[in-house]
Amino acid sequence: GQQVMQIPQYQHVQEGEDFTTYCNSSTTLSNIQWYKQRPGGHPVFLIQLVKSGEVKKQKRLTFQFGEAKKNSSLHITATQTTDVGTYFCAVNYGGATNKLIFGTGTLLAVQP
């Protein structure tokens, strides 16, 4: 079946260091979304990527979609304590369904 691997599961950084999480699929994707879940909160939509090789930026966050549309990354430059949380990718394989398959998430801890 379709699998979505997200690595690493956990990352602990010092404030000011960079952070990257990766999402990999065994099958070509139609599009991918990224969500952030703060501790005790619910997932909140960050961005959607659709095009091969697409790169989007939101302040210190950079999102990239691979050329083959099988992988994606989220990079945070100069982490802050407000970046703490779990980052999920969510993929769609196309077709008639609006169904998303979520990755297992990367928990980011930022030490002040």
Tokens 């297992």 belong to: 104
Answer for the pair 106, 7: CB distance below 8 angstroms, yes or no.
Answer: yes
> Site mask, other proteins, residues 25-54, x = CB under 8 A?
-----xx-x-------xxxxx--x------
Report the residue from 13, 84, 101, 109 that binds other proteins according to the rule CB under 8 A: 101
Residue 102 makes contact with other proteins by CB under 8 A: yes
Answer for the pair 56, 32: CB distance below 8 angstroms, yes or no.
Answer: no
Answer for the pair 19, 75: CB distance below 8 angstroms, yes or no.
Answer: yes
Residues at the contact surface with other proteins, assessed by CB under 8 A? 6, 9, 30-31, 33, 41-45, 48, 88, 90, 92, 97-105
